[in-house]
Amino acid sequence: MVFTHADQRKSHEHPLPALESFDLSGQVVIITGANVGIGYECARYMLTHGASKVIAACRNEKKTKDAIRVLLDETKREDGAFEYWHLDLASFASVRAFAAKFLESGLPLNTLISNAAVAGVGKVLTEDGLETHVQVNHISPTYLAMLLYPALKRTGSIAGGPPARIVGVSSEGAFFTDFPESASPRPVKAVPERVYVPPEEDFSYFNTKLLNVIGFIEYAHRIPASANIKIAVAGPGLVNTELGTKDAYGNALPKRTRPTYGTKARTAEDGAKTIIVAATYPVERVWAESDSDVPFFSSMKSLRELPVTAQDEDVRKRVWEDTLAHIPLKEGEVDGCFV
């Protein structure tokens, strides 16, 4: 049964249960957008449960370092346990530089939480000449995951060790868009060509989050089983974070949430719980309950089905090829399984 608005309203009627605790000692975690909201709450959990290093991959240095200072004090962790590394998903050069720095560090990569996103910023182009929602929410996260593949593979391939993980933070909105662009030979290029008028602007965000789901499914299908990398996507639900307060129309999301979607927004702490489940709970629990090898989690549970469009192999192939067409890949820059 496909996830619906009614399912989402029902899932928001009661607070989510408390998270279970798992020992993350020795693990290295990258969280994009870890300086605020859901990403910040994910970082708090990782640090509290012993992760050796959490890298906050963020654009704003001051804001991130302030957040790091607060969280290190709160969790009583040592300097270096939570670090700022610059990453601007609106810049392919920044994505490339971040990945190069990480690969050169020689650090393992146990978990990549692809969390950072934008919504409702209007039709703004990035320095690469692409529409911001599409690049930040889909193309750059896909590019980053490809570039970090060697570190994920090296970590997951350790004999007797657990798999490395990628958790793509998506949105239940991926189920709510009809995505007519799926019929286009270049579906990624077609998304920003549609004219959105508020409140239809939400569907621009939903479409990029559907692309995000499709991208991670295709990524999972392309890597060999020997890499020992597990991938999941997770929807945090409607969450009251900066994602909805800094849009082109003012403090829009919190004001529109109840009349538009019939439900109250969750706190960032509650919103992060579903991502944390996918990132830290035992492999046999996270990947056992879904009919897909890339499960979609919502309200801390795996949904039985993926968005309908994401189940279409032909659509996934065209989305992947069009995604690569937007990235100025250098010769040999990413593993051959991706190209």
Sequence-distant (≥ 6) Cβ neighbours of residue 301 within 8 angstroms: 289
Q: Looking at residue 327, what is its pLDDT?
A: 98
Q: Looking at residue 290, what is its pLDDT?
A: 67
Q: Looking at residue 259, what is its pLDDT?
A: 58
Q: Looking at residue 227, what is its pLDDT?
A: 96
Please give the CATH architecture assigned to the domain spanning 5-13+21-326: 3-Layer(aba) Sandwich (3.40)
Rounded to two decimals, what is the model's pTM?
0.94
Q: Which of 63, 115, 59 is nearest to 88 (CA)?
A: 59
258-314 pLDDT, tens digit each: 555 567 788 899 999 999 999 999 999 999 866 679 999 999 999 988 999 999 999
215-232 pLDDT, tens digit each: 999 999 999 999 999 999
Q: Which of 22, 3, 16 is nearest to 284 (CA)?
A: 22
Domain chopping of the chain, boundaries: 5-13+21-326
Q: Which of 205, 219, 249, 281 is catalytic?
A: 205
Q: Looking at residue 287, what is its pLDDT?
A: 94
**Residues 86 and 96: beta-carbon distance below 8 Å:** no
The verdict on whether 149 is a catalytic residue reads no
Sequence-distant (≥ 6) Cβ neighbours of residue 259 within 8 angstroms: none
Backbone angles phi, psi at 57, to 5 degrees: -90, 100
The DSSP-derived string for 212-269 is HHHHHHHHHHHS-GGG-EEEEEEE--SB-SHHHHSBTTBSHHHHHHHHHHSSPPBPHH
Here the tokens at position 143 are 């590019």
> Low-confidence residues of the chain, pLDDT below 70?
1, 196-202, 242-262, 289-291
